[in-house]
Structure 1
Amino acid sequence: MAAATRERALETAVELLGAEGVRALTHARVDERAGLPPGSTSNWFRTRRALLGGIVDWIAEHERADFDPAATPAITGLDQLIESWCALVELQTGPFAARTRARYALFLELAGDPDLGEPLRRQRREFERWTEQIVTAAGIADPAPATRALMALSDGLLLHRLTVDPTLDMRPAIERAVRALARS
């Protein structure tokens, strides 16, 4: 029961952070939105810093589960890479949009905080390693710079879809980038 309350508080905190930003995040608002008794979130996370740390860990844990490399089909060519990358961006800007917004808000908020920011950066490095393996399997000869370029493009597409044009067809940009990276 207690673990379910903690999970509900964190899930609600991520949704609140993703919808309204860092300034809207308070223990009381999380309790209210989650339908928890007042003080529930502070029982788990005594300070704002502790709550932010809990959110960072929650996001990383759920992203690892949702994008587990072992659960993803093997990518063996450029067409599969393009399809998979488009699907990934769709998920991040569709069903996981609040979490994606929350992650970006945390990156900005915690940029100068080495302790709280490190789990986010570690998660990013993990995702980069995973992406580099995929890029290599797809047949791109120089995978490290290709990975950085593909991830930078994806960050731009994610931000664009989340802030400017939620219906943007990102496939042409992803396809053009992947094919250009394969030629270079």
Structure 2
Amino acid sequence: MPRPELTPRRQQLLLAAMEVVAENGLRGLTHRAVDRKAGLPEGSCSGYLRTRSALQGALASFVAARLEDDVRRLADEIAHHGEDLAKAQAMTQSLFQQWLGAPALLVTKLELAMEGSRDQELASIFATSRRELVEVVEETMALAGREHSDERAEALVAALDGVLLGALQRPAEDQSAYLADCLTHLMGQLLADRRGAH
């Protein structure tokens, strides 16, 4: 998916917008709130993103791209370790804990994804991003010598989304154990079969 040019100022505004949503929900996302969070003069955000719709769309694309980049890096690391399922699980848990340690990215994604049920533009952004993530996961399963298919990769992505949501709703001190337990069961079921196994 082509990405809009991300100038330093645009990135500053979108990072601030992400923090605004994480702290105040999508209802709190205004141009003025973003300017305040970014420490910029009033009118800065609207100079780049004139409407609320433009701001939401740019933020959705920004969040989706950051998540996709993280998942692609994880996929490269997993592929490098071949068929080591324990290593794949540990690296996946490490990324999830990184996201949970600074949850603005996840919270903003969830807020915007829910809004996508009422906004076709947002829905389209996340549908495209989801399709690309599923392709990355399927490629990773194939390279690791696991049984793979589009449906299997889609199921794994959906299940991992659920694990992240479940972890996000738990106290910070419980998240690590919860992730380890869920990922052991989930990745063992969906990644353990070798290609051609019956």
Under TM normalisation by the shorter chain, which class is it? 0.7 to 0.9
Q: Deviations over 1:119-155 (max 9, x none)?
A: 2211111111101111223333244343233222211
Q: Distance in 1 between matches of 2:154 and 2:71?
A: 18
Q: Match for residue 70 of structure 2?
A: 66
Higher relative contact order (CA 8 A, sep 6+): 1
Q: Match for residue 100 of structure 1?
A: 106
Counterpart amino acid of residue 185 in structure 2: R
Task: Give the Å deviation of 1:71.
Answer: 8.1
Q: Match for residue 144 of structure 2?
A: 138
Return 5+ residue gaps in structure 1 as ranges. Answer: none
TM-score, normalised to structure 1, is: 0.86
* Local SS of the residue matching 1:129: helix
Q: Distance in 2 between matches of 1:68 and 1:40?
A: 32
Say if 2:75 and 2:140, in contact at 8 Å, map to a contact too: no
Are 1:85 and 2:92 matched, yes or no? yes
- C-alpha RMSD of the superposition: 2.3
* The 10-residue stretch of structure 1 (142-151 or 33-42) with the greater mean CA deviation from structure 2: 142-151
* The 10-residue stretch of structure 1 (173-182 or 120-129) with the greater mean CA deviation from structure 2: 173-182
Task: Give the Å deviation of 1:45.
Answer: 1.0
Task: Give the Å deviation of 1:69.
Answer: 4.4
Q: Match for residue 49 of structure 2?
A: 45
Counterpart amino acid of residue 156 in structure 2: L
* The 10-residue stretch of structure 1 (98-107 or 63-72) with the greater mean CA deviation from structure 2: 63-72
Counterpart amino acid of residue 173 in structure 1: C
Task: Give the Å deviation of 1:172.
Answer: 1.9
* The 10-residue stretch of structure 1 (63-72 or 51-60) with the greater mean CA deviation from structure 2: 63-72
Q: Distance in 2 between matches of 1:69 and 1:40?
A: 33
Say if 2:138 and 2:148, in contact at 8 Å, map to a contact too: no
Are 1:178 and 2:187 matched, yes or no? yes
Same amino acid, percent of matched pairs: 29
TM-score, normalised to structure 2, is: 0.81
Q: Deviations over 1:160-180 (max 9, x none)?
A: 222233332211221122222
Q: Match for residue 17 of structure 1?
A: 21
Task: Give the Å deviation of 1:55.
Answer: 0.5
Q: Deviations over 1:11-42 (max 9, x none)?
A: 10011112221011111111111111011111
Q: Distance in 1 between matches of 2:162 and 2:14?
A: 27
Return 5+ residue gaps in structure 2 as ranges. Answer: 1-5
Q: Distance in 2 between matches of 1:84 and 1:67?
A: 11
Are 1:4 and 2:5 matched, yes or no? no
* Local SS of the residue matching 1:68: helix
